Amino acid sequence: MWLAGVLDWVENYEMDKMLRAALRMTADEAVRSSSPTLATVCASFKFLIIGAGIFYLLTGVLAHLLQLKSPAP
List pLDDT tens digits, range 26-65.
777 777 777 888 899 999 999 999 999 999 999 999 999 9
CA distance 9 to 39: 10
- Which amino acid is residue 41, in one-letter code? V
Enter the pTM of the model: 0.73
CA 42, CA 38: separation in Å to the nearest integer? 6
Q: H helices within 1-73, ranges in order? A: 2-24, 27-33, 36-69
> What confidence score (pLDDT) does residue 22 get?
78
